[in-house]
Amino acid sequence: MSNVSKIGDRVHRKEDRRFLTGTGRYVDDLQLSRCTHAHFLRSPHAHARIKGIDTSKAAASAGVVAVFTGKDTADAKVGGLICGWVVKDKHGVPHKAPGHPAIALDTVRHVGDTVAMVIADTAANARDAADKIEVDYEVLPAIVDLTKALSAGAPQVHSDVPGNLCYDWELGDKAAVDAAFAKAAHVTKIDVVNNRLIPNAMEPRAAAAEYDRGTGNYTLHTTSQNPHVTRLVLSAFVLGIPEHKLRVIAPDVGGGFGSKIFIYAEETLCVWAAGKVGRSIKWTADRSESFMTDAHGRDHVTHAEIAMDKDGKFTGFRIDTIANMGAYLSTFATAVPTYLYGTLLAGQYTTPAIHVNVRAAFTHTTPVDAYRGAGRPEATYLVESIVSKAAREIGVDPAELRKRNFIAPTAFPYQTPVALTYDSGNYVPIIDEAMKLSDYAGFGARQSAAKAKGKLRGIGISSYIEACGLAPSAVVGSLGAGVGQWESAQLRFNPTGNVQVLTGSHSHGQGHETTFAQIVSDKLGVPMDQIEVVHGDTSQVPFGMGTYGSRSLAVGGSAIMKAADKIIAKGKKIAAHLMEAAEADIVFENGTFKVSGTDKNVPLAQAVFAAYVPHNYPIDKVEPGMDENAFYDPSNFTYPSGTQICEVEIDPDTGVVEIVHFVAVDDFGNIVNPMVVEGQVHGGIAQGVGQALMEAAAYDNATGQLLSGSYMDYTMPRADDLPSFTLGYKTTPCPHNPLGVKGCGEAGAIAAPAAVMNAVRDALAQVGAQDRIEMPATPQRVWAAINAR
Amino acid sequence: MYDFAYHKPKSVADAAAAVKKASDGKLMSGGMTLIPTLKQRLAHPSDVVDLAGVSDLVGIKVDATGVTIGAMTKHADVASSADVARAIPALAALAGGIGDRQVRNRGTIGGSVANNDPAADYPAALVALGATVTTNERKIAAEDFFKGMFETALKDGEIVTSVSFPTATKAAYMKFPNPASRYAMVGVFVAQTASGPRVAVTGAGPAVFRVKAMEEALAKSWSADAVANVKVPAEGLNSDIHASAEYRAHLVTVMAKRAVAAAG
Amino acid sequence: MSTSVDVTLSVNGERVARRVEARRHLVDFLRLDLGLTGTHTGCEHGVCGACTVRVDGVIVRGCLVLAASLDGATVETIEGLTESGEIADLQTAFVERNAAQCGFCTPAMLLTAADLLSAAARDGAVPSREAIREHIAGNYCRCTGYHAIVDAIETVATARAGKGRS
């Protein structure tokens, strides 16, 4: 059969043709009839009371259709934006959930907070009109410094959240940890800042909303990673439009990295206002709006201590973290520094006692939520930084110290002291392979050679674990999630034998249209060109929880496997009838039903045709049609693991850090498309390197202004900032999903910051500056670290 | 962008007249700075007068005494000019390091000079080489031309027509780019000119400046070591999230050293 | 004084005459007036490169060029380069090497890569990976980490140089 693909093949992406020819269809590419354009007036202040707002000049401006303020949305009873995960603090009290109106009512709480919405015939006219809105602000003191947000006397972000404390959460056995420290042979302490990042998907967020007066139906085209969740939240919590009257379409989406999971004010308002003005409304963020309003990522400050016995075995680990929530709670903000962070602090190690305390703080900054890795990069950065520091302190090679503490391959399933049960893994062969690929043994000679040239070389290791494939619904429900985390799939065969694969996992760069087709092709023997993957439309796909947390293949792919199993089961009944054989004797191989032990066979396409033209058909036993639906709810998280080794060379005269070699060896379980996986790893590493060396959202402590609000000041990794990467794989299949896959989307970003920073610290150790550097290790910071006296 | 009227005159005289006639006219050359400024609504000119139609302003002339570059000549054309590379290789290299490929294909020397961004590259070359800026009204020595941050000696409506660079026996430019924008965080142009060594620094201060102490040291001995121990005071230098004044001051010495070494 | 301007130009080989607002930049002109949505805007301040198009044979930032200034100009976009077949080998190499993920930066990246390949052909040299990285440094990609893009461009440069010699 022509172009049937197998799992493991480097299949070229089906979606590439449109992207490479300029025929992709992104939200902003839509041309809607009688379309109006929205512009949002944004707060120039980090914290201010709105004493008055006069929209009369704007309303009279050329082309203006409507101007809305917070009073209008409040009068219309538009609900506030929600946070969908309830975290209970150490006393069992739910987190503080202050109101988050789509348009500010009487107070603005971060630069970029929405103050008014202008709708006009063109985007330029809407912008012109917005300039004419007069807002009388009483500027109030702002707090943007996370380290001071919880201090007495800090400006209050919400009057109903005393001390800016959203929650004070803990996990682990504090008494056991204290006991371990009491007996420790050595204790290593560390303070780290996990720098705030701005996701910067290259396509800015956008929304286009339509309202059909005749039917009362709404359609929202939006840049979303999970259109069904957007519909659910808008329907059930914010706008009250019944789910069946709201269609959400996420067409081609130009990158997300987490930032397009969330439900934002802008798309909410476009839908609401489309009904209000009876016209289509389109909005596309400009980049400065993206900087101010896309949910940011990371932003922790942490003090941690690790206890060791005389052999360097970790005996206890205690962590105290403050996490920034920003001014309001974004959709999943509360879960990120708790269940996606605290639970990962065992890393790959057998540390028997761990206790983590996390205080989440409100500040007058853009809301913070999941960004590629979400909590797990923060955990990995902390664990891998302190492990390398401990190795230096006790004079043991950092690779050796890791190996001494790794969970043995025989110990799985392994229960950590921070709630998770790791399903599988084998860590030593991974680090060994990474050491081989990086010529770890030869590093000393390279370091000496660099020293002779006046350069500082360093090598850094990061051995990460992540929990992904989110997630068993019952587990996340018990932890406070407001949704289930299964995924759905539908295999809809057509009478002519081709098939549409409908999935709730949205693809915005990950290549699902290929990988998911590959699964179906391999499983059912259908040629690739006979398979079309459909995603991103609530009116086509039964339901979906979306794409985040490296879950698409592990959960969405598994749902497709389940649906394929149903196709095979039904096909067997039909084939048995057609071949006049017992169903029990039918086997399915290479796309064909066979009577075992004979040469009788019925190709799947023939069974499909019979199902749609059921003339000779077991109609009393089997319904016509070949269209199967499945929902898959995983029984556990998946646990990809790996080791990255980074080698850097620092120019001490300028502080410039050059990455000279970067190796990543991963265990993603089985791999469906190695080419796609490589791309995910490369991209993840690039973002991790960006965090380590370049990227930081900077706020002015006095004014609360975002200082890194454009590409003139926010350093994005460019092609000549990055090296090429050396990749390797070791495989332990996931034991609990039908594909044996673990997920690969976030690994690079999770592990890389620690790999790079451990290398930087290793280089700086030659001049005693290893403890004076934080991310991002920009030239200025490295130079300052070297020259601090 | 706010609305504005657009003019594309064919001669310098017509351009000057158009600016004069406008209530708040703005000249545009490559637009690489003006258009972002307009987009952010930081400027609201009544009229934009585009010099792209004035063909007289484009071209490179090289003779025994130096290089004259028409104001509307693009960075890419200076960078790829074999004549410039022969006469003043450091100038071609500087032009080839401005912004990125797309910007060099559009941005012009006249625009860069007239805008006098404190982080622009060209001002360092003009001052170090002792260039002369020619306008539709007069000739201005580079050192008298650059006045301060975004400030020049140009009067309202005065149009830069060309820049003339005398050759130097040795010259090199070393830039430490801002990691985000790639503008010069510190750029040092060194030249051994007819009137002695000159060292001009861009990016570090509010506007391009010379470092006399380095020039004196180089006059005694043209070597990287000669400037290695000459420090510039941090006081008055720019300070931002990318570089403190102290770091910039330090980089001036490092870049000067490297520039002298590169100049040979 | 009118804030609109009449322009006549060639876009992908077709003669186009329009009256445009002076403040309309080239990418908005292509997308909104001509329906050529293959060119994107990613930052609108001239840094990210997603708006890269060819004007009079050289690549420029389409978001920093006024449509009004292009009377008599020749503009080429991803749609035109695709149609002409000029970058067919490059497009194939991008597929074979998975050099596009979300696709948003891709059309512009191809324009910049094509520019490098033409320059390399003129110089008769295969650019180094460092030279490729330098050339595309004005085009941000947030998905790929650039590795696969560099691979794809290098493959085509090598192949074209081989053809040139044979």
Partners of B41 on chain C (C-beta within 8 Å) are none
Contacts of B240 in chain A (CB under 8 A): 713
CA distance A272 to A253: 22
| Residues 16 through 55 of chain C touching chain A, CB cutoff 8 Å | 21, 23, 31, 35-40, 42-45, 47-48, 50
Q: Which residues of B touch A690 (CB under 8 A)?
A: none
The A residues from 722 to 761 touching C (CB cutoff 8 Å) are 722, 724-725, 748
Q: Which chain C residues contact residue B8 at CB under 8 A? A: 68-69, 71
Probe site for chain B from A42, A125, A780, A787 (most B CB atoms < 10 A): A780
What does the pLDDT read at residue C1?
Answer: 58
Strand ranges, E, within A343-439: 354-362, 414-415, 421-422
pLDDT at position C123 is 87
What percentage of chain C reaches a pLDDT higher than 90?
92
Distance CA C33, CA A311 (A): 72
What is the chain C residue with the closest CA to B49?
A: C69
User: Which chains contact A through at least 3 pairs of Cβ atoms less than 8 Å apart?
Assistant: B, C
C77 CB within 8 Å of a chain A CB: yes
Residue A51 C-alpha from the chain's centroid: 38
Shortest distance, CA C44 to any CA of chain B (angstroms): 8
CATH for C4-77 (3.10.20.30, 1.10.3470.10, 3.40.30.10, 1.10.490.130) = 3.10.20.30
Contact at CB, B181 and A713, closer than 8 angstroms: yes
- Contact list in C for residue B99 (CB cut-off 8 A) is 138
Structure tokens of A472? Answer: 């068993």
Interface test with A, best of B251, B253, B255 (most A CBs within 10 A): B251
Which tokens go with A351? 């540390």
What is the residue whose two structure tokens read 């020749």?
C74
Q: Hey, is the C-beta of C129 within 8 angstroms of any chain A C-beta? A: yes
Residue C82 sits at the chain A interface (C-beta within 8 Å):
yes
Residues of B within 8 A of A653 (CB-CB) are: 254
Query: A19–C106: do the CB atoms touch at under 8 Å?
Result: yes
Closest Cα in chain B to C6: B6
Q: Is C9 near chain B, with CB under 8 Å?
A: no
Q: What is the mean pLDDT of residues A575-587?
A: 97
| pLDDT score, position A271 | 98
Residues of chain C with Cβ-Cβ distance to A21 below 8 Å are: 38, 78-79, 82, 91
Residue A95, token pair as written in the block: 């987190």
Phi-psi region for residue A8, left (φ > 0), alpha (ψ -120 to 50) or beta? left
Enumerate the domain spans of chain C. Answer: 4-77, 85-165
Quick one: pLDDT at residue C165?
52
**In chain B, which residues have their Cβ closer than 8 Å to the Cβ of A779?**
176, 179
- Per residue in A472-488, pLDDT tens? 999 999 999 988 999 99
Q: How far apart are CA A709 and CA A703, in angstroms?
A: 14
Q: How far apart are CA A710 and CA A697, in angstroms?
A: 10
Residue range B5-53 in CATH 3.30.43.10: yes
Fold classification of B58-263 (topology level): 3.30.465
Residue among B41, B183, B244 whose CB faces A780 most closely: B244
Q: Is C154 on the interface with A (CB under 8 A)?
A: no
Instruction: Quote the minimal CA–CA distance from B35 to chain C in Å.
Output: 6
Kindly tell me if the per-residue pLDDT of A499 is higher than 90: yes
Cβ within 8 Å, pair C35-A510: no
Residues of chain A with CATH 3.30.365.10: 16-22+486-632, 300-471+636-787
* Residue of chain C minimizing CA distance to B104: C60
Average pLDDT (A599-611) is 97
| Architecture category of domain A300-471+636-787 in CATH | 2-Layer Sandwich (3.30)
Cβ-nearest to A679 among C48, C133, C148: C148
pLDDT in tens, A722-748: 999 999 999 999 999 999 999 999 999
Tokens encoding B65: 């005494």
Residues of chain C falling short of pLDDT 50:
166
Quote the CA–CA distance of A665 and A668 in Å, as a whole number.
Answer: 10
Q: Cite the residue boundaries of each domain of chain B with CATH code 3.30.465.10.
A: 58-263
Arithmetic mean of pLDDT over chain A: 97
Between CA A189 and CA A177 the distance in angstroms is 14
Nearest CA in chain C to B30: C65
Pairs of residues, one from chain A and one from chain C, whose beta carbons lie less than 8 Å apart: 175
CATH architecture of A16-22+486-632: 2-Layer Sandwich (3.30)
Q: Which residues of B touch A716 (CB under 8 A)?
A: 180
Residue A597 pLDDT exceeds 50: yes
CA-nearest residue to A717 within chain B is B180
Report the alpha-carbon distance of residue A98 to residue A295 in Å, rounded.
Answer: 17
Give the C-alpha separation, A58 to A706, whole Å: 27
DSSP notation for B165-224: EE--SEEEEEEEE-TTT-SEEEEEEEEEETTEEEEEEESSSSS-EE-HHHHHHHHH--SH
- pLDDT at B71 (0 to 100): 98
Residue ranges of chain B that CATH labels 3.30.43.10: 5-53
pTM above 0.95, yes or no: yes
Closest C-alpha to A472, from A533, A558, A537: A558
Rg (CA), chain A: 27
Among A254, A686, A710, select the one facing C102 at the smallest CB separation: A254
**Do B179 and A715 count as a contact with CB atoms less than 8 A apart?**
yes
**Residue whose C-alpha is closest to residue A251's, from B197, B18, B40, C37:** C37
Residue B164: CB atoms within 10 Å: 19
For residue C82, give the nearest of A21, A124, A720 by CB distance.
A21
**Long-range CB contact pairs, A31-34, < 8 A, 24+:** A31/C35, A32/A208, A32/A210, A32/A280, A32/A282, A33/A280, A34/A279, A34/A280
Amino acid identity, position B121: D
Query: Are residues C45 and B40, on separate chains, in Cβ contact within 8 Å?
Result: yes
Contact state of A780 with B247 under an 8 Å Cβ cutoff: yes
From the list C77, C110, C146, the residue facing A719 with the nearest CB is: C146
Contact A742, A671 (CB under 8 A): no
CB A558 within 8 A of CB A738: yes
Residue A772 contacts C, CB cutoff 8 Å: no
For A3: left if phi > 0, alpha if psi spans -120 to 50, otherwise beta; the answer is: left
Chain centroid, CA B44 distance in Å: 25
- Interface contact flag, B105 C25, Cβ < 8 Å: no
What is the rounded average pLDDT of the residues A515-533? Answer: 97
Q: Render A225-284 in DSSP notation, one character per residue.
A: S-HHHHHHHIIIIII---GGGEEEE--B----TTTTTS--HHHHHHHHHHHHHTSEEEEE
Whether residue C20 lies within 8 A of chain B, CB to CB, comes out as no
CATH 1.10.150.120 is the classification of domain C85-165 = yes
Q: pLDDT of A394-421, one tens digit each?
A: 999 999 999 999 999 999 999 999 999 9
Residue of B nearest to C64 (CA): B35
Q: Which chains touch C (3 or more CB pairs under 8 A)?
A: A, B
Q: Between the CA of residue A501 and those of A4, A57, A670, A676, what are the distances in Å?
A: 16, 52, 21, 19
pLDDT value of residue A135:
98
Residue B234: φ, ψ to 5°? -75, -25
Contact A286, C44 (CB under 8 A): yes
Encoded tokens for A118:
């202008």
Is C102 within 8 Å of chain B by CB?
no
Question: What's the number of CA atoms in the CB half-sphere (13 Å) around residue A91?
Answer: 4
Chain C residues near residue B47 by CB distance under 8 angstroms:
1
CB atoms within 10 A of CB A178: 14
Q: Where in chain A is the domain with CATH 3.90.1170.50?
A: 32-140+202-255+260-293
Decide if C135 touches B, using CB distance below 8 A.
Answer: yes
Reading the block at residue A777, the tokens are 């290790």
C-alpha span between A234 and A274 (Å, rounded): 14
Confidence of residue A1 (pLDDT cuts 50, 70, 90): very low
With CB atoms and an 8 Å threshold, state whether B247 touches A715: no
A257 in C contact zone (CB under 8 Å): yes
What number does CATH give the domain A32-140+202-255+260-293?
3.90.1170.50
CB A438 within 8 A of CB A664: no
